[in-house]
Amino acid sequence: MAEQNITYTEDNIRSLDWKEHIRLRPGMYIGKLGDGSSYDDGIYVLVKEVIDNCIDEHVMGYGKTIDIKITEHRVEVRDYGRGIPLGKVIDCVSKINTGGKYDSKAFQKSVGLNGVGTKAVNALSRYFKVQSYRDSETKLAEFQLGDLITDEKVKSSSSRNGTLIVFEPDGEIFKNFHFVPEYLENMLWNYCFLNAGLTINFNGKKFHSENGLHDLLEKKSDTESMRYSIIHLIGEDIELAISHNNQYGEEYYSFVNGQYTTQGGTHLAAFREAYVKTIREFYNKNFDATDVRASIVAAISVRVMEPVFESQTKTKLGSQNVAPDGPTMRTFVNDFVKAQLDNFLHKHPSTADALLKRILQSERERKDMAGIKKLANERAKKANLHNKKLRDCRIHLDDKKDERCEETMIFITEGDSASGSITKSRDVQTQAVFSLRGKPLNTYGLTKKIVYENEEFNLLQHALNIEEGLEGLRYRKIIIATDADVDGMHIRLLLLTFFLQFFPDLVRNGHLYILDTPLFRVRNKKETVYCYSEEEKQTAINKLGGKPEITRFKGLGEISPDEFKGFIGDEMRLDPVLLSKDTTIKNVLEFYMGKNTPQRQEFIIGNLRIEQDLVEEEVV
């Protein structure tokens, strides 16, 4: 082996200051960066880190209102707590391992205990301002990319005690970022559900809850389909809300110290186990666990001392105990569920009867499906031996040791030409492609039996590995990639119907997206501009001047692999599939796939991103 002439001296050793390290390795502090199209992208973590401090003040009994204003690229958060001690204002936002949360007397059950939160926000913002109001005085400091640029002296103030944080994320780190209002509103509602009595004023809207997790289930679920009234149980440092509906899958909302743990953790695992155990004992029957939990919708919130999360973004709880010297999480949750749920069911026999009927229904459905599922699984295994529908990637979501597992995605497309273009231009490490054959079946109103009997859907669910729930999901993002024409829109709606009907958890948990691809290419000899709308095309024409060459892409298959590489790379545009808080899955499916063809046709044509005079086809 040839020697390499590489010097290694003291000059090669370098120490990074706090802001340099955060900017060099932002993923260590805020998870993945992203452009805001995913609910867990870094820009939302920045917002959350600031609001978490306001919530901690509220929990300690200081401040019942938080004012938040978020524009396209600027965030302002004002609380009315005690305010940062004026002599430590700069240190608290610019010195790692500095904060009041190390003193357990001041913040007994706080979310952020590592002294990093606002420092990361500061370092990753092109502009950051902190101003504390405390005891008729105020202190203001401003930063740019973590560097202090303004340090005002303490002066008198007539404003209420509290803290104001203003920041603008750095566009060099968060490329083409944008805030999705639905993600922000969902975050703020969760804060209110977990802190009954708190009021958040956000961009002119008021967020407030009086009944905690009971209100959460009412807003998140279709109350008309609930099999019984919400069971709401509150104890010391734990709160539960439980019901069942008629949808497929299990639906959970779990929280720790006010933090939405989207990936669950020890507290959610303890609840799922304790719930099944309590139900079995109450009815004195050894039900299958899947039958007990089928179609459940539940929320759990716990408060623990010094919580341990599995990542800086705090999406999964790892704590085994509720306090350093306290009981295990499993014992704590089990004891509460066993005592309170059992007592509730004894006092409310009508609820107990309705719950039993739901469990027995699930049991019958599971047994009826057993034979069909077995045959379907055998067909899927045989098909996978020579399955050309799936061009898989090498890294998957369950490859937890691989840092790129959160980047994994699968494109669902139609036709050989479209899938061929994506396959040739994809990143084989993290991007998979599933090719449909023609328009998929309209599953509206059908039972899950059809998923196993239909070859396309059976192979798709196996490719995603979601037959038994989201625990085995192989890709972080499921991306529907269809042509921007009437047929493409119809295929998109058929796929959305499939996922909403049988795998609604994929949508609720932010896994489903629509790929945005350019409609036009405008170019001259010096520059090429890709345009995603008629407006962008006109802007490009004006920019390039003269008579540039204009190409309209009628389908994904018409885009060359070399060009496609840019559209599914770092500059990829994705539209998340979201359900608003006022919309139920039942109503969505009835509108888009029910017996209302004229209205559906009007919607499809009206929402196409192509020139209207090109729309000549009719929707079947």
Cα 1 to chain centroid, rounded: 49
Look up the CATH architecture of domain 18-208. 2-Layer Sandwich (3.30)
User: How does residue 346 score in pLDDT terms, banded at 50, 70 and 90?
Assistant: very high
pLDDT of 105 strictly over 50: no
According to CATH, where is 3.40.50.670 located in the chain?
Answer: 387-517+555-614
User: How does residue 592 score in pLDDT terms, banded at 50, 70 and 90?
Assistant: low
Q: Give residue-wise pLDDT tens across range 512-557.
A: 999 988 889 999 988 999 888 888 999 999 999 888 999 988 778 7
- Candidates 533, 429, 413; CA nearest to 421 is 413
pLDDT (mean) for 264-282: 95
pTM of the model: 0.78
pLDDT of 620 strictly over 70: no
Identity of the amino acid at 408: T
Q: Give residue-wise pLDDT tens across range 175-187.
A: 889 999 999 999 9
CB 291 within 8 A of CB 92: no
Q: What is the pLDDT of residue 209?
A: 94
Helix, strand, or coil here: 192? helix
Write out the H or E segment, with its range, that includes residue 79. Answer: strand 75-79
Q: Give residue-wise pLDDT tens across range 120-148.
A: 999 999 999 999 999 999 999 999 999 99
The DSSP annotation for 231-290 comes to EEEEETTEEEEEEE-SSSS-EEEEEETTEE-TT-BHHHHHHHHHHHHHHHHHHTS---HH
Residue 73 makes CB contacts below 8 A (sequence gap 6+) with 168, 169, 171, 177
User: How does residue 114 score in pLDDT terms, banded at 50, 70 and 90?
Assistant: very low
Highest mean pLDDT (candidates 31-40, 219-228, 429-438): 429-438
Q: What is the pLDDT of residue 616?
A: 36
Q: What is the CATH number of domain 387-517+555-614?
A: 3.40.50.670
Q: How many CB atoms lie within 10 A of CB 22?
A: 23
Helix, strand, or coil here: 402? coil
Least confident of 45-54, 287-296, 340-349, 585-594: 585-594
Q: Give residue-wise pLDDT tens across range 361-404.
A: 999 988 888 777 777 777 666 655 446 688 999 999 888 777 78
The number of C-alpha atoms within 13 Å of 103 and in the hemisphere containing its C-beta is 5
Instruction: Look up residue 68 and give its DSSP letter.
Output: E
Tokens of 390: 């799936």
Q: Provide the terminal-to-terminal Cα distance of the chain, rounded to the nearest Å.
A: 67
Q: What is the pLDDT of residue 615?
A: 36
Residues linked to residue 141 through DSSP beta bridges, in sequence order:
130, 151
According to CATH, where is 3.30.565.10 located in the chain?
Answer: 18-208
Distance, CA of 395 to CA of 428 (rounded, Å) = 9
Q: Give residue-wise pLDDT tens across range 162-209.
A: 999 999 999 999 988 999 999 999 999 999 999 989 999 999 999 999
Burial 124-143 (b: 16+ CB within 10 A, else e): bbbbbbbbbbbeeebbbbbb
Tokens of 484: 């921007």
Tokens of 215: 């209100």
Find the helix packing angle between 266-283 and 349-385, rounded to 10°.
Answer: 120
Q: Who has greater pLDDT, 458 or 616?
A: 458
pLDDT of 312 strictly over 60: no
Q: What is the pLDDT of residue 164?
A: 97
Which of left, alpha, beta for 285 (phi over 0: left; psi -120 to 50: alpha)? beta
According to CATH, where is 3.30.230.10 located in the chain?
Answer: 213-363
Distance, CA of 529 to CA of 544 (rounded, Å) = 9
Q: Who has greater pLDDT, 99 or 148?
A: 148
Q: What is the CATH number of domain 213-363?
A: 3.30.230.10
Distance, CA of 154 to CA of 86 (rounded, Å) = 7
pLDDT of 613 strictly over 60: no
Tokens of 613: 């005079």
Q: Who has greater pLDDT, 529 or 613?
A: 529
Distance, CA of 245 to CA of 235 (rounded, Å) = 25
Q: What is the pLDDT of residue 591?
A: 65
Q: Where are the beta strands (DSSP E) in 403-474?
A: 409-414, 431-436
Distance, CA of 130 to CA of 518 (rounded, Å) = 41
